[in-house]
Amino acid sequence: ELGYFTYDPGFLSTASCQSAITYIDGNEGILRYRGYPIEQLAEHSSYLEVCYLLLYGELPSATELGEFGNHITRHTMLHEAMRRFMSAFRHDAHPMATMVGVVGALSAFYSDSTDVHNARQREISAHRLIAKMPTIAAWSYKHSIGEPFVYPDNKLGFTENFLRMMFAVPTEPFVPDARFVRALDLILILHADHEQNASTSTVRLTGSSEANPFAAISAGIASLWGPAHGGANEAVISMLDEIVAEGRPVQHYVDRAKDKEDRYRLMGFGHRVYKNYDPRARIIRKVCHDLLSGLGEDNPNQELFDIAMELERIALQDDYFKERNLYPNVDFYSGIILRAIGIPLNMFTVIFSMARTVGWVAHWMEMMADPKSRIGRPRQLYTGYVARDYVPLETRA
Ligand code: SDX
């Protein structure tokens, strides 16, 4: 018995930690942040409100949300030396490489909030990380296209501010399309947290050694980068682009995914926990459909969406996928929305890392606030030699 839940002993032995932040039922396709269903948060909430909920455990009052918003906006700026640091990266560096490097270096600029045993400093670091990720992300993009960095405008909302830093140029006014702001805010909500996935477990293990929070989040970004994890949204679009370019029937790619020799995978399909439809994918598919419908039939992304729907339709009827409980996951449709907004492919996982920062930080704060928290130390099943004596070099074959 743990809180409201009972677990069978087998599951308890696999659990890496206890947490009250996010609940997933992989068989039923359930996802809740602090007990609130993701479907209701997607319909009624905002990313900033979800940040407050994940960090503090309750939905904020209007006053609390206003104060939280002020705390976040006051931290959106970066130390000016950071501009020079970011400009030193090769222009064609993958933005995720910049994110790993720059976030890891934040402790060199904000060392006044790195005492992990001080609750107030932990909270300041949490606010700094949530607030600065959009600025770092947008500046990594601007650096890659040789355009001047755009400073945050704290009169704007969180997501609108990010889109402005991404796409505004000094030579002309820029107002983000409200449809894009809402669609991106939804994507951020849906990616905000997801229990003990690879990157969150990385953050917890790194933070358990009492490493500073900026280093722990940088480790999480590195883990998320992999195509089996957060890099899948980029890989899905590359797969859909390939299908468009090759012009073969969609069935061909479903058949390739079943061919053991080929090792080809339908990116955006399958999940370690969900053996049912990922609830986030269901929401994102509707957001994608509604956004593209509003952009008109000649929108080039409509073809990608149609191919994705055809892939889903065929795969969900196929025994190979049904037997393995392979369903679309959160990454299957998200990339089409990001491309429709005008976000380049190499920024997709950056968007995921920006969204997931609040989840990583919430889990780190939960762990560090627990006085019984100790350094993580996973064990192994040793499969090597039992014992043997040293063989001098001159006698070896
Ligand atoms: C995320 O953990 C999280 O919560 C992550 C995440 C989050 O919010 O943090 O939800 C975000 O990372 C979503 C997952 C994004 N990744 C992808 O879409 C990449 C493609 N998917 C796969 O690589 C795979 O499905 C995983 C990695 C997601 C899950 O791998 P599992 O559960 O370990 O499954 P597996 O590799 O053991 O495969 C089981 C079987 C195998 O076939 P058999 O050996 O039994 O014959 O299913 C097959 C696999 O070959 N399979 C696939 C497949 N995924 C698994 N076959 C074709 N296409 C696929 N995508």
pLDDT of residue 136: 97
Cβ < 6 Å from ligand 1: which residues? 194, 197, 228-230, 232, 257, 265-273, 324, 326, 329-331
Q: 272: CA distance to ligand 1 center in Å? A: 6
| Residue 202 · residue 230 · CB < 8 Å | no
Per-residue confidence (pLDDT) for residue 1, from 0 to 100:
59
CB 225 within 8 A of CB 349: yes
pLDDT value for 60: 98
- Smallest CA separation from ligand 1 atom 41, residue: 324
User: Which pLDDT band holds residue 3 (cuts at 50, 70, 90)?
Assistant: low
348's tokens: 């997709």
Tokens representing 21 are 């932040």
Which range has the top average pLDDT, 212-216, 294-298, 315-319? Answer: 212-216
**Ligand 1 atom index nearest CA of 193:** 8
Closest alpha carbon to 376 in 218, 215, 203: 203
C-alpha 110/C-alpha 367 separation (Å) is 21
Residue-by-residue DSSP string for 308-377? HHHHHHHHHH-HHHHHTT--B-THHHHHHHHHHHT--GGGHHHHHHHHHHHHHHHHHHHHHT-TT-----
| Contacts of 75 by beta carbon, 8 Å cutoff, 6+ apart | 127, 128, 130, 131, 132
Would the pLDDT of 48 be above 80? yes
> Mean pLDDT over all residues of the chain?
94
Q: What is the pLDDT of residues 53-67, one digit of tens each?
A: 999 999 999 999 999
Q: Whole-prediction pTM value?
A: 0.94
Angle of helix 47-56 versus helix 62-73 axis, rounded to 10: 100
- From CA 215, how far away is CA 134, in angstroms rounded? 18
150 is written with which tokens? Answer: 């755009």
Mean pLDDT of all residues in 358-380: 95
2 beta partners: 5
For 86-140, what is each residue's pLDDT tens digit? 999 998 999 999 999 999 999 999 999 999 999 999 999 999 999 999 999 999 9
Model pLDDT, residue 193: 98
Residue 326 tokens read as: 């392979």
Looking at residues 170-195, what average pLDDT do you find? 96
Measured in angstroms, how far is the CA atom of residue 266 from the centroid of ligand 1?
Answer: 9
Q: What percent of the chain has pLDDT over 70?
A: 99
Would you tell me the crossing angle of helices 301-317 and 331-341 to the nearest 10 degrees?
170
Provide CB contacts within 8 A for 158, sequence distance 6+.
46, 47, 48, 69, 72, 134, 185
- 284, pLDDT greater than 80: yes
